[in-house]
Each structure stands twice: as C-alpha cells, then as structure tokens.
Structure 1
Amino acid sequence: MKKLFLIIGAPGSGKTTDAEKIAANRADIAVHYSTGELLRSESASGSERGKLIESFTSKGQLVPLHIVVQTIVHAITNAPKDVILIDGYPRSVEQMNELDSVLSMKDDVKLTSVIEVEVSEAVAKDRVLGRARGDDDNAEVFKNRMQVYLEPLPEIEKFYTHKKILHKINGERSIDEIVSEMQKYIESKI
C-alpha cells in the first residue's frame, strides 16, 4: 500500500525544499511531487490547460479544483515508490474534501499524515520576495497568496486533527533541522 504524506505551509515556508531533500535522502522508498511545480510545468508547456492555469496563478488565485485533483491523482497513481510526498495541497477546504473523497475510494493508497510547516507571515514574505522566481513573486501577489492560504487553514487543521493525522513542524529553523525532524517523523510512520 502506498503511503501519502501531504506537506502544507504558507508560501515561502520551505515545504517544497523540505520534501525534495527528504525524497533525495530516501530515494530508495520515497518520491516527491510539488503541486505547484506540476501546475507550473503544465503552464509553461503552453497547452490550453497550461494557459488556463496561468490565468489563475499569475493573479495569485487558486487553479480550479478539477485540474488540481486530476494532477494529484495522476501523480499518486503513477508514483514509482510506495512513499509519496506531495507539497502545496490542499489549499482549500474544497480541495481537502475532494481528495478525501477520492482517497476513500482507493484501497491502495493511505493518507498517512498531513505535515504543516509553520512560519510567520513576515518570514514567509521575506523568503518569497527574496527568491523572486517569477512574475508571481511580488508583494501584491504574495499578499493574495497568503490570504488564500490562511483563510481555509483553521478548517483544514480541524479536519486533519480530527482524523489524528496532522503534525506541525517549526519552519523557522535551518533547513537541515527541519528536514531532519520531518524525515524522522515520516520514517516513524512507515
């Protein structure tokens, strides 16, 4: 059975870097997918779906649910390893509920844990504006992205806490400290 770990956190929390490092450290058993990277790749491809995705991400808005869920389910289904790390999902209550619904119909995948990388808004903003990867890394878009992240967070936390699978990690330490703690936690669940 595949074990799925969702890694959530504010823009700039380091969730993608953390997941990449853990997947590299444990390439024998784990694979990492970033929802953001999967969507950015599609956007960069210039396809019709990519253009649609770009029309949302360029404004800091959420990509429509059915496109995101298709992307994630495809990644899980085709994962070459049994431990799957996906970061940047869910970002809304609707995404959470849709994934929960899809996973409830699959007996070959278990959502093992949701790991929340916690950082303050100030730290997140400094990191995002400091990296400036593209047109979506500016103060106005950051503000929108942060609001989109924070608005559904209490309900997402409550849902996964009720399922006893939410685990919070302090994201305001060194990458090595965060990765070490997160990797030990994941290994303890597999």
Structure 2
Amino acid sequence: MKKLFLIIGAPGSGKTTDAELIASKHENITHYSTGDMLRAEIASGSQRGKEINSFVSKGLIVPIEIVIETIVTAIKNASTDIVVIDGYPRSIEQMTELDKYLKNESEVELVSVIEVEVSQDTAFKRVLGRAADAEVVRADDNEEVFLNRMKLYIEPLAEIKAFYTKQDVLKVISGEGTIEEIVDEMDNFIQSRV
C-alpha cells in the first residue's frame, strides 16, 4: 500500500524545497513536484510538452487529464511506499478527479494534505528573489505571472481546505519560519503518520 502525502502552498511557499529536503533524509520517501514533472515534459520538446507549455507560460492550470495521468503514473512507478507530491491539487477539479481515482484504488492511500501557509507578501518576495538569484530565470517568475498564479491558488483554496478537513486529512503548517523549522515540523508530522 502506497502512502500518499500531498503538499499544497502558494507560489513561493517553499513546498518543493521542503519536500525535497524531507525525501533526501529518508530512503523510504519518493518526492515528486507536479511543476517539475510538467517542466521536464516541456524540456523534452515532446508534443505533450508543447501543449503543457502553452498553459504554463501564461500561468494557467494544465488540463486535468494530463496532470492526473502524470501523477498516477508517478505514484505507481515510485520505488518507495511513501510518496510525497507537492503542488497538487491546485483546483477543485484536480481535487475531485484525484479523489475519484483514490476511491477506486486499493494500492494508494491518501494519508494527509499538508498546506504550507505563507502571506502573499512573503510568497511575492521569495518568487521575485528566486528570479533575481537564479542563473536560469523561470518564465513564470515575474510579477504579472506571480499575481495570476496567486489568484489561481487562492480562489479554490477555501473549498479545497474544507474538503480535506471533512476527510480529516488536512494539516496546516506555517511557512513563515526558517527552512529548517518548516522541514522539521513537516518531517515529524509525516513520520508520525507512517
């Protein structure tokens, strides 16, 4: 039985870094970033990559069929029993489609959805700081795209949180502290649930 943890958070909340650090500490955890999976497909130059890029380059959400297929394949191919995916779900549709999939899936259990909560101000400074520090600037690291991504993140958030709270799987962690503090809290929580 694969144990699935989803990590959600605003752009710049640090969710990918947190998940990478936790996975690097434990041989029994596989980490996938939805964003990284989609960016890898774009970088491959495939037809699907071009299709994904037509959405990502504008800060729009990639169609559900493409994302679900990518995620399901990743979970099933993971070499470990604990899988952490960050950046998913980002919409009500993504949430309900994954829920439908999990209801019919005996090999995967959703253990928890962890929200890394940060203020828009903190997220904004981190994303634009990342763009300033990076040798390779991501196309989505600019103010206009950030604000669009933030809006897309916030719009469905209350409904997503209510859905997972009702299932008793939502855990909210403050993303305002140091990376070490956030990673320790998240790691301790994950270890307590496996």
TM-score of the two chains, using structure 2 as the length reference: 0.97
% identical aligned pairs: 61
- Match of residue 125 from structure 1: 124
- Match of residue 165 from structure 2: 161
Distance across 2 between alignment mates of 1:135 and 1:156: 27
Deviation track 1:32-85 (CA, whole Å, cap 9, x = no partner) reads 000000000001111110001101000000000000000000000101000000
Is 1:48 the counterpart of 2:47? The answer is yes
Residue 95 of structure 1 aligns to a residue whose secondary structure is helix
Q: Which runs of 4+ in 1 moved over 6 A?
A: none
After superposition, the CA RMSD in angstroms is 0.5
- Match of residue 109 from structure 1: 108
- Match of residue 8 from structure 1: 8
Letter in 2 for 1:145: R
Aligned 1:43-82 pairs, distance under 5 A: 43-82=42-81
> 1:135, CA displacement in angstroms?
1.5
> 1:131, CA displacement in angstroms?
0.7
- Match of residue 180 from structure 1: 184
Residue 8 of structure 2 aligns to a residue whose secondary structure is strand
Distance across 1 between alignment mates of 2:5 and 2:86: 8
Letter in 1 for 2:173: I
Deviation track 1:124-181 (CA, whole Å, cap 9, x = no partner) reads 0110111113111100000000000000000000000000000000000000000000
Aligned pairs, number: 189
Residue 7 of structure 2 aligns to a residue whose secondary structure is strand
> 1:183, CA displacement in angstroms?
0.3
Is 1:26 the counterpart of 2:52? The answer is no
TM-score of the two chains, using structure 1 as the length reference: 0.99
Residue 5 of structure 2 aligns to a residue whose secondary structure is strand
